[in-house]
Amino acid sequence: MLKFLRPAIARVLTPVGQVLAKTPVTPNALTIIGTIGMSAGALWLFPTGHLFAGVMVCTGFVLTDMLDGTLARIKGNTTGKFGAFLDSTLDRIADAAVFAGLAAWFVLGGHDKLLAALSVFCLVAGALVSYAKARAESLGLRCDVGFAERTERLLIGLVATGLSGLGVPYVLAIGLWLLAAVSAFTFGQRVVAARRSAAEIAAAGNQPDPGSVVAATGDHSDAGPRGLGTCLD
């Protein structure tokens, strides 16, 4: 839904990537640093009630993680398919850390078991959204739909959390309910798309060749070298 932002963000990140390309830093290193930083910030600051500070830390490391795709392209995609696999796999860890941190806050300080459970639902639903597309494409089925991909889900979660940390009432609860709804809707979209694709293949009398299908890695539209950054997929 926010893919139109890619060109603008690419223009901002390219100069930074060109500077990093002159150093020994690799795209995989940026991926790992971004994931560790984001996970540490979310699991350390959110449970202690420092919501706005946690969002600032997570946002900073999201930008670091976004640079991996830019650096990979400038260096000639040296990390290849493993880089794409690592990128998407570690994204799931970072996303889980954000919602686990929020769930911990609602249990320890927020004293709201319903919102704690909702945070866990958002964690699971987000993982299912990514898995549905990955599994469908690994079987040769088309599943290129998604009302709320990782960009949208992360944006909703972090903006609502940050505003809550600034004292805006009810915004985090609203954000989590909205995120739960769009995640469930997107998962349903992908299940329907995969079912439709399978029916079309069966009707045509064709079967996808598993050997020719490259397994998808999360929200990416392909499993080639990582693109602009996983938060945009």
Condensed to tens digits (0 to 9), the pLDDT of residues 145-190 reads 888 888 889 999 999 999 999 999 999 999 999 999 999 999 999 9
The per-residue pLDDT for 87 is 87
The per-residue pLDDT for 232 is 42
Sorted by where each begins, the domain ranges of the chain are: 3-232
Q: Which residue has the tokens 């898995």?
A: 131
The per-residue pLDDT for 150 is 86
Is residue 133 within 8 Å of 218, Cβ to Cβ?
yes
Q: Please say if the pLDDT value at position 80 is more than 50.
A: yes
Which member of 65, 68, 87, 91 is catalytic? 91
Annotated catalytic residue 91: yes
Burial group, residue 127, by CB count within 10 angstroms (0-12, 13-18, 19+): middle
Distance CA 171, CA 160 (A): 6
With bands split at pLDDT 50, 70 and 90, how would you rate the model's confidence at 129? very high
Query: Architecture of 3-232 per CATH?
Result: Up-down Bundle (1.20)
Q: From 192, 117, 97, select the one nearest 147 (Cα to Cα).
A: 192
Angle at 220 between CA 178 and CA 115, to 5 degrees: 25
Q: Please say if the pLDDT value at position 203 is more than 50.
A: yes
